Amino acid sequence: MSSNPYGVQAMARQALSEIESVFTALAADAADRMCSEILNARRIACYGVGREGLMMRALCMRLMHLGLDAHVVGDMTTPPVGPGDLLVASAGPGAFSTVMALLGVAREAGARTMVVTAQPGGAAPLIADVVIHLPAQTMANDQDGSTSLLPMGSLYEAAQLVFFDLISILLREKTGQSPEQMRARHTNLE
């Protein structure tokens, strides 16, 4: 028997309301800026750690479904980045040591950098070319009294998943592709 007196339906309504609040506070031009950077890139490299890393892998998969030259940093088939390329890194709490290091490598190689974050004043966003601010709670601020129902700052990752799929829809429209064209690029090795 569940110890939660409200039930999963009530919890789902609360979680969905919190995700909606992230999008209500999202800058009106955030999606267009992200799409523009992606479409102007020769090659896209995606990176994140932990659950954020899973969301970045999901974004990378959608970019591949769109026929873009997209790779996950750390995969053995990821090519080097250079001029004309874009590193998209997630740093929800504002910085991770690996994100900081990769931003430095990408910038030195001449690639543009984008940081998706919930903390735009953090160290990683301050050195990125483009910052996409998803105003959601992360582990950086999940103990300040305004705690999300979702555990350990996962409101940020939930918002990322929705935002990245919306980005893929916008990119599909901007590139004049159909859902069927995207589906044709889905792996058959499952």
Q: Six-digit token pair at 119?
A: 């903390």
pLDDT of residue 2: 53
pTM, two decimals, is: 0.93
pLDDT of residue 148: 84
Residues in the chain: 190
Q: Six-digit token pair at 156?
A: 């940020």
pLDDT of residue 138: 84
pLDDT of residue 95: 96
Give me the architecture of the 7-184 domain, per CATH: 3-Layer(aba) Sandwich (3.40)
DSSP symbol at 87: E
pLDDT truncated to tens, each residue of the chain (190 aa)?
456 666 999 999 999 999 999 999 999 999 999 999 999 999 999 999 999 999 999 999 999 999 999 999 999 999 999 999 999 999 999 999 999 999 999 999 999 999 999 999 999 999 999 999 999 988 776 656 567 888 877 999 999 999 999 999 999 999 999 999 999 999 999 8
pLDDT of residue 79: 98
Alpha-carbon gap, residue 16 to 190, rounded angstroms:
31
Alpha-carbon gap, residue 107 to 135, rounded angstroms:
26
Domain residue extents for the chain: 7-184
Alpha-carbon gap, residue 20 to 183, rounded angstroms:
28
